[in-house]
A and B are shown apart, each in its own frame.
Chain A
Amino acid sequence: MSPEPCQVAVVGGGLAGIIAAAMLQKNGLKVLLLDENQGLGGQYLRTHPPLPSGGGHFLPRLGAGHMRELAEKGVETVNRAQVLAISPAREILAEEDGQRLFTLRPEAVLLAPGAREKFIPFKGWTLPGVISTGAAQILIKAHGVLPGREMMIAGSGAFIYAVAAEVLANTGRVRAILDHNSLARKIEFAQGVLTMRHKLAEGLGQVARLLLARTPIKNRTRVLEARGDGRLEEVVTTKLDRAGNPLPGSEKTYPCTCLAVGNGFVANLELGQLAGCRLEHNPALGGWIVGVNQEMETSVPGVFAAGEITGVAGAEKSVTEGRLAALCVLHRLGRLSAQAFSDRARPLRKERARQLAFARRFNALHAVPAGIVNSLPDDTIICRCEDITMGEIREAIRGGCRTPLAVKRSARVGMGICQGRTCASFLYEMIAAHTGVPVSGQEVLSVRSPVKALGLGTLARPLERF
């Protein structure tokens, strides 16, 4: 641990975090980068520890240069770190790999914790063999391992196609893609992408691969049930009507041992919540997000946010926001004149506006149709940690629970080890479907520190000061 205290803590070493950390350090600030994974790069770059030697062949270009820069500039980095708490006064408590517990109080904090996947549960989704599309991508891209030789991929949005293309490019087979959106809805989305040439090229490349492999794409179709004795063996699908209700008689059964599911992404809000940042609900940006101003500063002075936490919009927006946030921090801490800041921030803000406009279309494909929520059978597990079913949650709502917190207290949903990270976004949709109170009118589940599971052995370690 270095003797100088750090001036800026960057939480999250994905695209936004690494770009900001590199810029801040280059301009003379002492930065500490805290990241939960073995290697930096977040979900987009996904590298092995410690840094890519000569840029591994899995690395796409975006952000790769910044990874090298981080190493060259000597940004102090803690891998396998978990930030357990952060106060509105920027007091941070963190641990490293269960080995070390430390605190720091930097002059500025940049929260860049990224996003996690959003799920729409179905009967049997807890069977081993049902994984997330993100897990499939990480196994393939970062580890060169196929989750299964033949897979089915189900959900909504563009990412399911990206993962399917990834499987096909890596000797795997895709039995079918199940998309709960209609073809018309996807075409509407594609029209919005026409102006973004690199997105279009990326999409066309994926579609070409799927066409070449003759992968069946089933529109307005979802998984009705995953079946198997102790592990996935069969997937039952159903066609949906316009409202998302299953069409009786349209069921089809596939033998299947590996199913990847994904319904878009939600921001990792917890640290923003603990710091006391104002939240906003914006369905077009992935639901609940941390609100920021034009300077990427949250409602808490000195706490900045960048990347998916301010709105789920993908890699390019994270890069832009990482840069913008770094400029703001540099200006705030006296490393950049007002003029230079304003000159350099202007084009980034324009870029950001364009990227946000794209995201609004992207996220529209992840809306959860009320029919899907209403038609889930009572014995569907919603909270995987505590095995709480749809029926138990419906009963709590019928019994008068109108808010996420009331349902949590009554049915114990979201009280397990993941702290609602997996099921809360669906819980909000359920409450909306059953009570008519839109998600934006609900109060998001509160969080308490430590925000991640922590061994008692770690707690017993002496508290160090960074």
Chain B
Amino acid sequence: MTDLRIRPGDPDKKIRIYVNGQECPAFQGETVLAALTAAGKKSLRKSRQAKEPRGALCGMGVCYECLVAIDGVPGWRACQTEVRDLMEIEIDES
């Protein structure tokens, strides 16, 4: 599995999140986008009209390109949302 973390995360802060049902490592305090990026997941959704794959652009809450569904609720900005233990994230990688 891809791991783009620069140094190993703090084991005390390790939590479990699920991405499309698969367990994915994450650490308290980081954003959903950070956890997804660390796991090499870039395609997050489809664009509204052309239905083309999209992923994060601005990383700071401005562009709304990184919208994902969290615990069944769509429309969360991955870059502005912090991970929580047992969080279920849905992305459209197809």
Instruction: Give A residues with C-beta under 8 Å from B.
Output: 36-38, 43, 48-49, 80, 116-117, 126-132, 134-136, 138-140, 142-149, 170-171, 230-232, 381, 384-387, 416-418, 421-422, 453, 455
Contacts and interface: CB of A to CB of B under 8 A. Distances in A.
Given A127-B53, A129-B42, A145-B4, 16 more contacts: A36-B80, A37-B80, A43-B60, A49-B29, A132-B57, A139-B34, A139-B59, A145-B37, A145-B38, A146-B5, A230-B43, A231-B53, A384-B57, A422-B58, A422-B63, A453-B75
B57 A148 contact: no
Contacts of B17: none
Contacts of A49: 29, 82
Given A418-B63, A422-B62, A144 B5 contact: yes
Contacts of A117: 58, 62
B36 to A, nearest CB: 9
B15 to A, nearest CB: 14
Contact of B50 (A38, A230, A387): A387
B58 A387 contact: no
B1 interface: no
A135 B82 contact: no
Most buried by B among A43, A48, A116, A143: A143
Contacts of B47: 126, 384, 387
Nearest to B40: A148
A381 B55 CA distance: 15
Contact of B61 (A36, A129, A231): A36
B6 A140 contact: yes
B29 A135 contact: no
Given A128-B42, A145-B37, A170 B57 contact: no
B49 interface: yes
B59 A145 contact: no
B65 interface: yes
B60 A135 contact: yes
Interface of B: 4-7, 9, 29-31, 33-34, 37-38, 42-44, 47-50, 52-65, 75, 79-80, 82
Given A149-B4, A230-B53, A38 B82 contact: yes
Nearest to B34: A143
B48 A116 contact: no
B48 A135 contact: no
A38 B78 CA distance: 12
Contacts of A170: 6
Given A43-B60, A139-B37, A171 B6 contact: yes
Nearest to A422: B63
Contact of A134 (B5, B52, B60, B65): B60
B48 A130 contact: no
Contact of B6 (A145, A232, A387): A145
> Majority SS of interface residues in chain B?
loop
B40 to A, nearest CB: 9
B52 A126 contact: yes
Contacts of A126: 47, 52, 54
B57 A48 contact: no
A143 B52 contact: no
A116 B62 contact: yes
A380 to B, nearest CB: 13
Contact of B37 (A147, A385, A386): A147
Given A128-B44, A171-B6, A417 B64 contact: yes
Contacts of A148: 4
A126 B59 CA distance: 14
Given A231-B42, A417-B64, A134 B48 contact: no
A128 B48 contact: no
A81 to B, nearest CB: 11
8 contacts: A36-B61, A126-B52, A126-B54, A135-B58, A143-B30, A231-B53, A387-B48, A387-B50
A206 to B, nearest CB: 18
A234 to B, nearest CB: 15
Given A135-B60, A231-B42, A418-B62, A386 B49 contact: yes
Contacts of A130: 57
Pick the 9 closest A-B CB pairs, nearest first. Answer: A135-B59, A128-B55, A143-B34, A387-B49, A128-B42, A48-B29, A387-B50, A128-B43, A145-B38
A232 B42 CA distance: 9
A333 to B, nearest CB: 31
Nearest to B47: A387
B17 to A, nearest CB: 14
Most buried by B among A116, A145, A416: A145
Nearest to A412: B49
A145 B78 CA distance: 15
B48 A386 contact: yes
Given A128-B54, A230-B43, A231-B42, A38 B61 contact: no
